Structure 1
Amino acid sequence: MLWKGFQRPKRVEIDTESLTPTYGKFSAQPFERGFATTVGNALRRCLLSSIEGAAATAVQIEGVLHEFSSIPGVKEDVTDVVLNLKQIPIRLHSDEPRIMTLDVSGPKDVKAGDLGGDPQIEICDPELHLATVNEEGRLRMQVQVQRGRGYVTADKNVDESLGIGWVPLDSVHSPVKRVNYRVETARVGRMTDYEKLTMEVWTNGTITPEEAVSLASTLLKEHLSIFIAAEDAARGIEATGASEASEADVLLARNLEEFDLSVRTANCLKNASIQTLRDLVSRSEKDILEIKNFGKKSLEELQELLGRLGLAFGMDVQGGADLGA
């Protein structure tokens, strides 16, 4: 049997004494030599890059046209205010972009908790400093918040539906701030050539370290499952029913999440229940543009993707498609 004589970790131990909502220490043993490093590195990369979170993606400040302006009556300039906005740990209970608002007069030390206007947005550090308004000053602004993964550049956060005066921001969506892991020698009976994996995870408080590790592990498991299915197919076991599908059908069945689409485009398609390439190409460009908050830039992004794959909008794919046509 495949696992005969092969040591695997039995459970994950959590250091409850040091556990906080933003820090967790986890350990597992025994691993066969080399496996602790393999698992630790994969989990670390997944934790830092692939866990979804919310962040500020655009801002509109009254009287300000660009990011390098000053704000009358406010100590900080726009750049400083934007940097402070990016530090706010946000929990968004919606798949769609939402708007926070702020309208304060001085003198006042403006904090993240002063932002409001949407019950779907939860600020996890309301005491975070945003700006200092003097006696004669007034600060009015709106902030767009949306979900995403990793680092997103400002040009991908452009939202044409917001109108004039909005400044797109580069955004860091990952709720995981830092991950360390180390590998030590572990003993099983008299044998000492096994390994122990210890991981430390720091988050921004929007998710707990336990949740982050669980999500990263699930994501890795789902990616590896296709190789298990491939082995089953080689043994003559029908794992997914796709072994007899044509090359075109396999391509059209691919989920759009596999492609590097901008956060806004991905969210619009998800809200319209367009999940696969088949769903996408079966619609016309007119149908796509009628999706709420979907703009011309997002359409051009999809046209480029389909052209690269040899596909187009408005294809008849009900009975399969011939990509060579």
Structure 2
Amino acid sequence: MFREKVTICSRLLQWKCVESRVDNKRLLYGRFTLSPLIKGKAETIGLVMRRILLGEIETMCITRAKFIKLPHEFSTIAGVEDSIQEILMSLKQIVLRGNLDGIHGATICFSGPGYLLSQDIILPPSVEIIDNSQYIAKITEPIDLFIELIIERNCGYRRKSPKNLQDGSYPTDAVFMPVINANYSIHSYGNENDEKDNHEILIFEIWTNGSLTPKEAINEASRNLIDLIVPFLQVEEEKLQVEKFKTRLVLPLYPLYDQHRKLLRNEKVKRMERDLEFEHLYIDQSELTPRIYNCLKKANINTVLDLLYTSREDLMRIEHFRLEDLHRLQKLTFQS
């Protein structure tokens, strides 16, 4: 009985992209909805997803620059209109797209006069510049300007070190944040007087800098959320045994998604997902006698998941709970 209800709820839950637009190369917008959600769930999902979107999605950016024959970052380069600080600021704003891990090098070799743009950066393979027209500096004289760059992949925001590196390169503030902004709102619908017919819809709005689309950003955030949850579900196979005199639900080994970060949808995962839904099935939905129901409520057993995680010994310690009550619960809970 319970498993059928869980299957229906899972099938109704839908995640949709209702709007997507490109304002410019460095500003993409997407609006998404997730529904129907049990009252109270939307706030939890919205808060967690927003924090991950804004601070835990990886991207690439320029983190260091080295100018040939430059004594310090407050020096000036003859024939260059912009200061070193202004050039570093422009380099920090270059938006890159790529999946390379670790630290990689890039170079700029420009002959003036003219405008030095982001398209003049020589990048490693598999890395691209989102907007080739981003301004870096203005060269006013016929000189050759050579700059060595360091590109890294990370997440969040990293302030530059107050001291320059020993190799003569100058660090920049690293902004590993492809999501510029993320907002969510919650809307209720249905019958407010009936808990079973009162649902919520979660609406997400996401703006990115172009290194990821809003849809890619929300997919990446979902995978990061799975990374946070999986360690709690990892257990050894030999420990997945029911103790001799206990009727306890045991979670199967949760398989991790493969090296391409794709979740393996095998039978164990599907079975575990159904079992996790028991957390939202309350015992008043089951065919319990009033006396058994009252005994469980007094023991603070409110959901089917609470019941499944309560051992036989703990149940028998409940006041007025009898052995025949235990047999009745086993028939109701574990019928296939």
- With the shorter chain as reference, the TM-score category is 0.5 to 0.7
Pair 1:186-2:189 in alignment:
yes
Q: Which residue identity does 2:71 align to in structure 1?
A: L
- What secondary structure is seen at the aligned counterpart in 1 of 2:122? coil
- Post-superposition Cα deviations, 1:124-174, rounded to whole Å, max 9, x if no partner, equal 111101111102444221111011111123349987xxx622112231112
Query: In structure 2, how many angstroms separate the alpha carbons of the residues matched to 1:207 and 1:181?
Result: 19
Residue 156 (structure 2) aligns with: 150
Is the contact made by 2:89 and 2:172 (CA closer than 8 Å) also made in structure 1? Answer: no
Structure 2 match to 1:48: 54
The answer (yes or no) to whether the contact 2:50–2:182 under 8 Å persists in 1 is yes
Fraction of identical pairs, as percent: 29
1:100 Cα deviation after fit: 1.4
Q: Does the alignment pair 1:208 with 2:241?
A: no
Q: Shift of residue 74 of structure 1?
A: 1.2
Does residue 140 (structure 1) correspond to residue 143 (structure 2)? The answer is no
Does structure 1 conserve the Cα–Cα contact (< 8 Å) formed by 2:102 and 2:152? yes
**127 and 208 in structure 1: CA distance in 2 versus 1, 3 angstrom threshold:** same
- Report the equivalent of 1:224: 229
Question: 2-side partners of 1:46 and 1:219: how far apart?
Answer: 7
How far off its partner does 1:204 sit?
Answer: 1.4
Among 69, 77, 85, the residue aligned to 1:71: 77
Structure 1 residues 47, 157: CA separation in 2 closer, same or farther (over 3 Å shift)? farther
Which one of 109, 118, 136 corresponds to residue 115 of structure 2?
Answer: 109
Cα deviation for residue 15 of structure 1 reads 2.0
Instruction: Flag structure 1 segments of 5+ consecutive residues without an equivalent.
Output: 242-325
> Alignment partner of 1:216: what SS?
helix
Structure 2 gaps of 5+ residues are 243-247, 255-336
Superposed displacement of residue 239, structure 1? 4.6
The offset of 1:70, in angstroms, is 2.3
Alignment of 1:1-325 (within 5 A): 1=2, 4=5, 10-16=13-19, 18=21, 22-155=28-161, 164-187=167-190, 193-229=198-234, 235=248, 237=250, 239=252
**Normalized against structure 2, the TM-score is what?**
0.62
- Secondary structure at 1:154 match in 2: coil
Alpha-carbon distance between aligned partners in 1 of 2:91 and 2:241, rounded to the nearest angstrom: 50
- Give 1 or 2 for the bigger CA radius of gyration: 2
Query: For residues 124 and 19 of structure 1, what CA distance do their matches in structure 2 show?
Result: 13
Change (3 A) 1:217 1:117: closer
1:169-218 Cα distance to aligned partner (Å, 9 max, x none): 23111211111111112237996742111111111111111111011112
Distance 1:233 1:85 in 2: 57
So what's the TM-score if we normalise by structure 1? 0.64
For 1:183, the aligned partner's letter is: I
- Distance of 1:58 and 1:188 partners within structure 2: 57
SS across alignment from 2:81: coil
SS in 2 for 1:81: helix
Post-superposition CA distance 1:199-254 (Å, at most 9, x none): 1111111111111101111221232234445797894747559xxxxxxxxxxxxx
Post-superposition offset of 1:104: 1.5
Change (3 A) 1:238 1:157: farther
Partner of 1:127: helix, strand, or coil?
Answer: coil
